Amino acid sequence: MITLTQVTKVYQGARRPALHQVTATIEKGEFVFVVGEAGSGKSTLLKLVLKEVRPTLGTVTVNGRNLESLPRWKEPHFRRSIGYVPQRPLLIARHTVYENVAHALRVIGKTEAVCRRVVPEILELVGLGMKENRYPHELSAGEQQRVAVARSFANRPLVILADEPSSAVDPDTTIELMRLMDRINRTGTTLMVASTDAKLVSAMRRRVLEFEEGSLIRDQVRGVWRP
Ligand SMILES: Nc1ncnc2c1ncn2[C@@H]1O[C@H](COP(=O)(O)OP(=O)(O)OP(=O)(O)O)[C@@H](O)[C@H]1O
């Protein structure tokens, strides 16, 4: 599904690589935590998979396609085929929960009839079936993050990338959020979750890729993390 081969990323003007000779393969349907201290390269890894940044050296392959060979005009379509959950949910404030999720479907050309069928299903899945007419400011931080997850999952992507999705929510909400991710993972969706939450990572017992100053220092099945 996702293969990184000897990937090095040096940002312009940086003194050291953000990622250094990283090689890893993530199979379809896996749930992988990407862990490490701040600045260790987690976000850079996710951005490479989205082709938001390009490797300085090495190759990134997603779904059998070397991203270097993906033409620029196909990049927006490619990105929309991947679900992305940012650290803080970027919801549209003047849109309801329903509209926020429907928006993700409209931009890929889905009809209103499809939205009316699919959006309630997804909101039910994330536990927000009763709140489809609420506005973002009427939701808790955890609920807002669940809307962001619903939106990332709306077009049933093969992969969802989440960048520290629990950084702005309390521990109970974090557990809830991870249960939700787990449910989505069970549908066959591959998940890559960057996290600095050692307790959470250790409790979930999923594959752990640990980074230190840009190097992959551990790749462990059912891993824990003690920074
Ligand atoms: N656009 C950029 N230009 C220059 N340097 C950058 C850029 N983005 C990230 N870096 C640097 O690359 C290194 C890795 O950053 P990255 O954001 O990938 O780490 P991270 O592990 O996700 O950190 P955090 O947990 O704080 O989000 C850091 O030293 C950072 O300062």
- ipTM > 0.85, yes or no: yes
In angstroms, the Cα distances linking 165 to 53, 67, 153, 186 are 20, 25, 14, 19
pLDDT interval class at 4 (50, 70, 90):
very high
Nearest-CA residue for ligand 1 atom 31 is 39
CA distance between the termini of the chain: 28
User: Tokens 């260790």 belong to which residue?
Assistant: 40
Per-residue pLDDT at 219: 95
pLDDT interval class at 150 (50, 70, 90):
very high
Nearest-CA residue for ligand 1 atom 30 is 39
Read off the pLDDT of residues 68-93 as tens digits, 9 standing for 90 and up.
999 999 998 898 889 999 888 889 99
- Residue 125 CA to ligand 1 centre (angstroms): 33
Match domain 1-81+157-227 to its CATH number in 3.40.630.30, 3.30.1490.70, 2.60.120.200, 3.40.50.300.
3.40.50.300
Q: Of 13-17, 175-179, 195-199, which gets the smallest average pLDDT?
A: 175-179
- State if residue 14 touches ligand 1 by the CB under 6 angstroms criterion: yes
**Can you spell out the DSSP letters for 97-113?**
HHHHHHHHHHTTT--HH
Nearest-CA residue for ligand 1 atom 1 is 11
Residue 128 has pLDDT above 90, yes or no: yes
- Determine the average pLDDT of the residues in 93-121: 95
- C-alpha span between 178 and 148 (Å, rounded): 13
- Determine the average pLDDT of the residues in 134-154: 92
Per-residue pLDDT at 114: 95
User: Tokens 């702005």 belong to which residue?
Assistant: 168
Bridge partners, 61 (sequence order):
3, 66
pLDDT interval class at 101 (50, 70, 90):
very high
Read off the pLDDT of residues 32-42 as tens digits, 9 standing for 90 and up.
999 999 999 99
Residue 54 makes CB contacts below 8 A (sequence gap 6+) with 48, 67, 68
DSSP E strand boundaries for 164-202: 190-195
Domain with CATH 3.40.50.300 in the chain: 1-81+157-227
Residue 171 has pLDDT above 90, yes or no: no
- Residue 4 CA to ligand 1 centre (angstroms): 18
